[in-house]
Amino acid sequence: MKTTQLCAIGLAVALVGVAYADKKTTKPTAEDKKEAKQEVGLKGKTVGKADIEAKSASKLKGKAAFTDDGKGGIVVRIEVSDAPPGEHAVHIHEKGDCSSPDGKSAGDHWNPTHMEHGKWGAPMDKYHLGDIGNLTVTPDGKGVITLETAKWTAGGGAVNDVVGHAIVVHGGVDDFKSQPAGNAGPRIGCGVITGEGVKEKDNKAQPKK
């Protein structure tokens, strides 16, 4: 009897401990955030961002930050949580419209260079400027993907301006081959890219031709 009681108390203490530890890890401190930013070289000023919302009945949440890399390029860091573990295609899609429940309102891939779909960095530039790649989500439902490139601009209205388009996270993996979009399955997350530090009248999330 006594042993049973002791066990029960021990279990209760352990459970409280686990709950506490969980709570601690889900709330990153300012220090953690600073470290994460330095880790991927996001020291420059923020030039764009997107809040990624759940689509196709997923529970996904996420955000994207575009920052100046100080070398004439842009770094994007996209992070998701409450996502299904595994690999998920991430693209920039043409229209800055995430209004439909299936995310299809964001249209096709953003492809200002009129190339075929492919893997970022493929020879002869045979990929879309929105072909970011596959993001790996760990069993805790979290994942991060980063990309640094001089092929994008943000906020100036150039043909390669990411602002006004949408980040889309897919349920499946991008095979980097199938046309026009890598056979990546349903759209489980979508977020319109808005400019930071650009004039408000230029900052509307409108589809570009």
Interacting residues toward Cu ion by CB under 5 A: 91, 168
Nearest residue by C-beta to Cu ion? 91
Q: Output 42 or 60, the one with its CB closest to Cu ion.
A: 60
Q: How far is the CB of 183 from Cu ion (least distance, A)?
A: 10
User: Cβ of residue 175: shortest distance to Cu ion, in angstroms?
Assistant: 12
- Name the minimum Å distance from CB 109 to Cu ion: 6
Measured from the CB atom, the residue of 135 and 168 that comes closer to Cu ion is 168
Nearer to Cu ion, 42 or 117 (CB): 117
68 vs 117 by CB, closer to Cu ion: 117
The CA-based angle 55-59-65, given to 5 degrees, is 75
Please state the closest distance from residue 120 (CB atom) to Cu ion, in A: 13
Give yes or no for a contact between 176 and 66, defined as CB atoms under 8 angstroms apart. no
Instruction: Pick between residue 42 and residue 130 the one whose CB is nearest to Cu ion.
Output: 130
